Chain A
Amino acid sequence: MSQPSSLSDTHLRPLFEAVSITKKFGDFIANNDVSFTIHEGEIHALLGENGAGKSTFVKIVYGLLQPNNGKIFWNGNQVFIPGPQQARQLGIGMVFQHFSLFDALTVAENIQLAMPPGETIASLSVRISRLSAEYGIGVDPDARIHNLSVGEQQRVEIIRCLLQDPKLLIMDEPTSVLTPQETGQLFSVLRRFSENGLAILFISHKLDEIRALASHATILRRGENVGSVVIDGQTNRQLAEMMVGAKVKNISRQNAPEKSEVLFEVKKLCRPKDSIFSVALRDVSISANAGEIFGIAGIAGNGQDELMAALIGEWRGHDDGILIFDGMDISGKGPAERRVMGMGFVPEERNGHAAVPSMRLAENVLLTGHSLGNLVRYGLLDLFGMRAKANLIARSFDVRLPEGNPLASSLSGGNLQKFVVGREIVNVPRVLIVSQPTWGVDVGAAAFIREAMLNLAAKGSAVVMISQDLEELFTIAHRVAVLNDGILSSAEPTIDLTAEKVGLLMGGTHVSREERT
C-alpha cells in the first residue's frame, strides 16, 4: 500500500474488513492487493474511473465473485462469502447499478425472491408498504416492474435490501440514473439510515456527490487501492488526482464563434415511444452552426438514445423537412446516404454499435466507409484499401494497436474510442454527431478526442455532442441545450451557463406542468 490508512486512529472495531484482495480474469488483474475497512454508521465512497476495479471489488464483498487471494473479516472474524445468500445472512445488502429486478414479476414477488423463504406475499406486502411510508418512498407492492419508472425501480431495489435489515449496504453508482432532485432525496434517506447505524459503501466517480454524502473514501486506480482517506481533509482536486493519477487541467470555456451559416438543423422532431422503456421525443429543435460544437446535456435515459438514432437515421419518421443538412432535407435518408452527403456519426456504445468487436479493424473501417470513397467497387471489397485506411486512422489518432490487423475487441476502451472517432474525423465530415464521446475512456484518450473535435470545428464543420459529462460540455461546447424527458431546452452559450443552471434544467424545471400531463 502506498499510503497508510488514515482510519487507523479510530478505536472502533471495523464492521467489515477486506485484506489484500486480488482478483484476476485470465491475465487481467481487476483487483490487485486491495485492502478496505468500514465501520458501523460510516458512509464510505469507493472512488475511481471506469475500469478501476470498483465493481469487481464490491462483487467480491457481496459474494458474487471469489477473490484469487485475500481475506475478509466481519466483526473481526474471518469469513468466507461463497455467494450473495451468505452475504445477506451476514448482513450485507446490495443495490445494483443495472437493477437485478424481474420485469415480468410484481414488486412483492421481486422482494420475496431476495428474502429468506417462509414469508407470504401478503405479509411481505404489508411490510413493504410500512417501510416505504416510513422513509417516504412510495412503492405499490402489486405493481409489475415493467410498468415502473427507473427511479421507482431503484426504490424497489433499496426497499428490497432494507427489508433484510442489513448492517452494510452496497450501492453501485446509485445516482447515475437519477435527476439531481431525486439524488437529493436519495441522499437524505441514506443519511437517515446511517444515523441508525447502517454502514453504506457506495460507488461513484462524481466528486461533488461523494463530498455531499460520504465521510470516507477509498480510491481505486487500475485495480489498486491508491488511498483510503477522510474526505474532509482532502480537496476535490486532490481526490481527482488520486483517481486519475495525473494533474486535472483547469477548464477554460469556449467562446462562441462568430455567428456563421447554419449547417445542421432539426425542426420540431417528434418521435413516439416504441416500447415502455423508451422515451418519446417532443419537438426537439437543434441548429448547429459551422465552426461550432453544439452540446446536448442531460442524464442518461432522457431520450439521448432515441435522439441519436433519429440523427443517425437508424430511426426515420414519416414527415419531411425535419432534418436539414446544409439546406437539404435529409429526413427520409438512411445512415449511409447521410454519410455520403458529408455527415459523420459516433454513437455512445462502442461495442456492437459503433464497432463490431468480433471483426478486424479493417472491417470496422468498412462499417461507416462502405458508402464512401472506393473501398467497395462493383460490390467487391478492396481489402488493401481497408487495411490502409485503418492504419491511417490509427496513425493520425494515436490508436495503439497490437501487431497486424487486430480484432476490435482486442483494443482497450480508450483506443477503440479513438478509432471510432478518428474513423469519422479523417473524412472531415461537415457535420459530426457524437454521443458520450469520452465515456469510460482514460484521461489521455479523452483529451485527445476533445482536441480532435475542437480541431474539426475549427475547420468549419459543425459538431453536435450529446454528453452527460458537464465538465466536458463546459470545456469544449460553444452552446449547450439540455435534454430532459424527451424535451430539449433552448441552447445557451456556454460562457453564460452555470453548473447549477444546467443541473436544474436536467431536473426538468423548464418543463411546465401542462406539458408534462
Chain B
Amino acid sequence: MEALILTVLLTSVPLIFAASGELIAERSGVLNLGVEGMMLMGAVSAFAASSIFGSPYVGILAGAVAGALTAAVFAVFALGLATNQVATGLALTIFGAGLSGLVGAPFVGGTIDGLPTLAIPLLVDIPVFGNLLFNHDIMVYLSIGFIVIIAWFLTQTRAGLVLRAVGNSHDSAHALGYQVLLVRFYAVSFGGMMAGLGGAYLPLVLTPHWSEGMTAGRGWIALALVVFASWLPSRILIGALLFGGITIMQLAGQARGWTIPPQLLSMLPYIATIVVLVIIARNREFARANSPACLGQIFIQNK
C-alpha cells in the first residue's frame, strides 16, 4: 500500500511542475498549448546533460533552461509577433517533439543514474507518514515548494497582482503603464522552465533512459489539470495526485486482474476536465474570480 501511494506521488510530480508553470502563463493571459513540446525538450536536455556531466543535478538545471528557452521561442512568436496562441502552441509541441527526437537520437539506449533520495532528518522517522512524505528526491520537495510559492506570489505580492491584472485586462494594464508583453514573457518563460523541470523528472527519476516522445501525453494532461484546478495552485496539487493516481490505478488494476479496461481509466482525466469546463462555463461568478479574462487574446502594443 505504501509503495502504491509512493508511486502515485512520484507520477504526479511532472504534472505538478508542468501544470503550475502553465498556470502562471495562463494567469497572465497566455494559453501555451506547447507544454508537451517543452516537457520533451526538458526531458532530453536533462538526460543528455546528466549523461555527459555524470550528475543528475546538472540534468535538473539543463531541463529547466531548455524548457525556458523553448518557451521563449513561443514567446517570440505569440507575444512579439502577436501570432495566434493556439496555433503557435501546437507548432511548439510539434517542433519540440521533433527537435527532442533529433537531439536525443545519440542517447537512445543509454542510461543514467537517477536522482538520489534525500531523507529529511527527524521528520523521516515519524511513523507511517515519515517515509511517505519526507524521504524523496529533491524535485519532490521542489514541486511542493513551488506550489506554495506560487500561491503566495499570486495573492500576497505586488508582482503577483500585476500578473493577475495583466491576465484580467491587458488594455487596462497597458493604460496604467505596465509592460504587458514583458510580464507575459516572464510568465511564459517561467511556465517553460517548469514544464522543462516536469519533463526532466521523467528520465531523472521515473525511467532512467531517453526515448522519443517519452512524456506520452503528460503535457496535455497538465493543460487539462490547469483547467481542472480552475486556475488555483492548491487545486493543482490535489488534481495532480488524482490524475497521477488514475495512472497508477490502471497498472495496479491490471496486476490484480480487474475487468475494467485500462483505457477507460486513462480517459478519466480528460473527461473530468471536460466536466470541469462545463461547470466553469455555467457558473460565471465563480469563473470570474480566478479565470484570466484575457486568456488566449492577442495584445498588440501601440495599435
Contact = CB atoms under 8 A, between A and B. Distances in A.
Do A and B touch each other in the complex, judged by CB within 8 A? yes
Interface of A: 63-65, 83-88, 96, 98-105, 109, 112-114, 117, 146
Contacts of A105: 161, 164-165, 168
Interface string B170-190: 011111111000000000000
Given A102-B165, A103-B293, A65 B176 contact: no
Contacts of A99: 172
A409 to B, nearest CB: 14
Given A83-B177, A85-B177, A100-B175, A113 B168 contact: no
Interface in B115-171: 158, 161-162, 164-165, 168-169, 171
Given A104-B288, A104-B289, A109 B175 contact: no
A132 to B, nearest CB: 20
Interface of B: 158, 161-162, 164-165, 168-169, 171-178, 288-290, 293, 302
Nearest to B291: A104
Nearest to B162: A113
B175 A64 contact: yes
9 contacts: A84-B175, A84-B176, A85-B177, A100-B169, A100-B171, A102-B165, A105-B168, A113-B162, A113-B176
A109 B161 contact: yes
Contacts of A146: 288
Contacts of B169: 100-103
Of the candidates B162, B168, B171, B176, the one having the most CB atoms from chain A within 10 angstroms of its own CB is B176
A54 B44 CA distance: 55
B163 to A, nearest CB: 11
Task: Say whether chain B's binding surface is mostly helix, strand, loop, or mixed.
Answer: helix
Contacts of A109: 161, 165
A100 B174 CA distance: 9
A96 B289 contact: no
Given A64-B177, A100-B171, 4 more contacts: A64-B174, A100-B175, A102-B165, A103-B293
Given A84-B176, A88-B177, A105-B168, A112 B158 contact: yes
Contacts of A112: 158, 161
A25 B177 CA distance: 20
Nearest to B171: A100
Contacts of B178: 113
Contacts of A102: 164-165, 168-169, 172-173
A87 B177 CA distance: 9
B293 A84 contact: no
Given A102-B165, A105-B165, A146-B288, A114 B172 contact: no
Task: Say whether chain A's binding surface is mostly helix, strand, loop, or mixed.
Answer: loop
B177 A63 contact: yes
Nearest to B178: A113
A98 B174 CA distance: 13
Contacts of A83: 177
Contacts of B176: 84, 100, 113-114
A83 B290 CA distance: 29
A153 to B, nearest CB: 11
B302 A104 contact: no
Contact of A100 (B161, B172, B302): B172
A86 B176 CA distance: 11
Contacts of B293: 103-104
A88 B175 CA distance: 12
B214 to A, nearest CB: 38
Contacts of A85: 177
Nearest to A115: B158
A102 B289 CA distance: 11
A86 B174 CA distance: 14
Of the candidates B169, B171, B178, B302, the one having the most CB atoms from chain A within 10 angstroms of its own CB is B169
Nearest to B289: A104
A104 to B, nearest CB: 5
Contacts of B162: 113
A338 B172 CA distance: 40
A63 B173 CA distance: 14
Contacts of A101: 169, 172
Of the candidates A101, A105, A113, the one having the most CB atoms from chain B within 10 angstroms of its own CB is A113
B175 A113 contact: no
Contact of B161 (A65, A84, A96, A113): A113
A102 B166 CA distance: 9
A64 to B, nearest CB: 7
A113 B165 contact: yes
Contacts of A103: 168-169, 288, 293
Contacts of B290: 104
Of the candidates B164, B169, B172, the one having the most CB atoms from chain A within 10 angstroms of its own CB is B172
Contacts of B175: 64, 84, 96, 100
A411 B134 CA distance: 69
A64 B158 CA distance: 22
A93 to B, nearest CB: 11
Contacts of A100: 169, 171-173, 175-176
A114 B172 CA distance: 11
Nearest to A85: B177
A164 to B, nearest CB: 11
Nearest to A109: B161
A103 to B, nearest CB: 7
B89 to A, nearest CB: 24
Nearest to B159: A117
Contacts of A117: 158
